[in-house]
Amino acid sequence: MATIPVVAIALVESNAVQPTNAPQPIAIANAPARTTMPLPSRKPKEKKKDFLSRCMSDDKVISEFPDNKQRYAVCQTQLSKGETLEVEYKKEK
């Protein structure tokens, strides 16, 4: 049977000042502030294709997701959030 070495690490509180050459977070220049806009949700009894059409053409969704493929994926996700799974089963005797 092989033995596994165990290493113990002690954390000690220190009042030491961080060196000035420590990496600092970088802000990306001219990056727009990203806000999350509410996404459309499926209305009761709205057909799937009607919801996808409405979601894909929504101005807020277009501005948030300008790429058609990404926007379609987002709309598909929104569609699946509102769906309920209906399962039909037979009770065995």
pLDDT at 89 over 90: no
- The pLDDT score that the predictor gives to residue 81 is 83
Q: Is residue 9 part of a domain?
A: no
pTM of the complete model: 0.51
Task: Indicate the number of domains in the chain.
Answer: 1
Pick the range with the lowest mean pLDDT from 13-22, 30-39, 67-76: 13-22
DSSP state at residue 36? P
Residue 73 forms part of a structural domain = yes
Residue 32 falls within a domain, yes or no? no
Query: Domain of 59?
Result: 48-81
* Residue 16 or 64, more confident: 64
pLDDT at site 19 = 57
- Of residues 76 and 24, which shows the higher confidence score? 76
Do 51 and 79 contact (CB within 8 A), yes or no? yes
Our measurement of the distance from residue 26's CA atom to the centroid of its chain's CA atoms, rounded to an integer in Å, reads 23
User: Does 67 map to a domain?
Assistant: yes
Decide: 52 and 75 in contact? Cβ < 8 Å: yes
Asked if pLDDT for residue 37 goes beyond 60, the answer is: yes
